């Protein structure tokens, strides 16, 4: 089926609507408050599309979490101290929302498994949880997994977001740093087999840079072949997509969404059409030093370094309640425009418009090709 793509005017109108509505996931009108924890700045990979300020300097050393670091221009080094992680969870528990969520992030969070275990135990047994639903998620490259760790996550009810971009050539943008290519491939394949055999819920998170936009159908086919129970397809943010590449992404996404009925065992999150207009995001993150900021300030540290300060909302040392440590998406966009020079702001807007266009494509497919998500 030939799925019509949105016009430029439709994209602009949809983006305005998304900004006005704020985040559907963690905004003022949502039922959930979510905390992301940057457990470490260390990672075994240096993926070509990742703009997080990764470093092996200070790995294994807890950051003191000083208040002065919240105003520093450079990203902090080291790992999150256990007391910082637990204090961040305490702050989330002051939320008035009926549903809470915690996502363990990095760097590669499994590099500090002691922190992963401490966070899960503290969050699940926290006295201020008051029987509220608590969603737990861990974003990982899979290189630090083994059956024992997967079993621990499964017992805690953690959903694993496995960031792997497919098979073979699909992973060419995932560049090993602490391993050679062969060792890295072998380790994540072992992790994949362990996940498939274990009890932890998981899904495949695939990021597509501009050079690979024509590969969406093959990335989808890879997820089916790998036995993934669910899949999220993402375009890389902070990177320029030519007109041809934008068209390839949208037509490829439309084709995958329309053909999804052929894979009844795979849940495709993109069909839900409820994402924020990436690269904006409503989630609040606690950095290794205790700084509280919205996640875009971390995702784009090396590409748009000025956004770290623009997206900062304080520090754990001065925070007494959860509310007040996030801005709406419209406010974030205003902060972005004020912080970035015109050419960088235009690139950022390009990414937002591609997110709005992707949302419209998903909505169009849902109407023309109804089916399971």
Query: How many contiguous H segments (helices) and E segments (strands) does the chain have?
Result: 11, 10
Q: Are 268 and 255 in contact (CB under 8 A)?
A: no
Cα(278)–Cα(240) distance, integer angstroms: 14
pLDDT of residue 185: 87
Taking all residues of the chain, what is their mean pLDDT, rounded to a whole number? 93
The closest alpha carbon to 359, from 2, 1, 21, belongs to 21
User: What's the CATH number of domain 8-365, 3.30.70.3270, 3.40.50.10170, 3.40.50.720, 3.20.20.70?
Assistant: 3.20.20.70
Q: What SS3 class is residue 210?
A: helix
Domain ranges of the chain: 8-365
Q: Confidence class of residue 98 from pLDDT cuts 50, 70 and 90? A: very high
Render pLDDT for 160-213 as a digit per residue (tens, 0 to 9): 999 999 888 888 898 899 998 889 888 988 999 999 999 999 999 999 999 999
Give the orientation angle of helix 329-339 with respect to helix 342-368, to 10 degrees: 150
Token pair for 160: 């694993």
Q: pLDDT by residue (tens digit) across 33-60?
A: 999 999 999 999 999 999 999 999 999 9
At residue 337, the 3 state secondary structure works out as helix
The label of the residue with tokens 């748009």 reads 304
For 295, the token pair is: 């996640």
pLDDT per residue over 295-327, tens digit each? 999 999 999 999 999 999 999 999 999 999 999
């Amino acid at each position: 089926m030939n799925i019509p793509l949105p016009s430029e005017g439709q994209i602009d109108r949809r983006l305005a609507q998304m900004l006005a509505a704020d985040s559907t996931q963690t905004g003022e009108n949502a039922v959930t408050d979510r905390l992301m924890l940057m457990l470490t700045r260390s990672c075994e990979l240096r993926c070509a599309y990742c703009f997080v300020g990764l470093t092996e300097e200070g790995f294994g050393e807890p950051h003191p979490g000083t208040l002065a670091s919240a105003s520093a221009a450079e990203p902090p080094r080291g790992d999150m101290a256990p007391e910082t992680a637990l204090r961040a969870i305490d702050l989330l528990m002051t939320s008035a929302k009926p549903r809470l969520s915690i996502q363990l992030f990095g760097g590669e969070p499994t590099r500090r498994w002691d922190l992963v275990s401490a966070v899960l135990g503290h969050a699940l047994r926290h006295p201020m949880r008051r029987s509220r639903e608590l969603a737990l998620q861990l974003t990982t490259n899979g290189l630090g997994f083994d059956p024992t760790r997967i079993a621990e996550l499964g017992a805690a009810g953690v959903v694993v977001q496995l960031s792997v971009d497919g098979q073979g050539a699909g992973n060419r943008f995932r560049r090993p740093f602490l391993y050679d290519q062969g060792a890295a491939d072998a380790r994540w394949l072992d992790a994949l087999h362990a996940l498939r055999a274990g009890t932890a819920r998981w899904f495949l998170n695939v990021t597509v840079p501009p050079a690979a936009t024509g590969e969406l159908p093959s990335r989808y086919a890879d997820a089916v072949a790998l036995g993934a129970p669910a899949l999220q397809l993402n375009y890389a943010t902070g990177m320029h997509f030519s007109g041809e590449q934008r068209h390839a992404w949208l037509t490829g996404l439309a084709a995958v969404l329309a053909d999804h009925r052929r894979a009844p065992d795979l849940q495709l999150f993109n069909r839900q059409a409820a994402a924020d207009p990436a690269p904006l995001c409503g989630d609040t993150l606690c950095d290794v030093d205790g700084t509280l900021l919205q996640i875009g300030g971390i995702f784009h540290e090396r590409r748009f370094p000025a956004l770290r300060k623009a997206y900062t909302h304080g520090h754990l040392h001065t925070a007494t309640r959860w509310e007040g440590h996030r801005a709406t998406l419209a406010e974030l966009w205003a902060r972005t425009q004020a912080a970035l020079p015109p050419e960088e702001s235009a690139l950022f807007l390009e990414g937002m418009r591609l997110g709005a266009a992707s949302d419209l494509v998903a909505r169009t497919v849902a109407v023309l090709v109804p089916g399971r998500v």
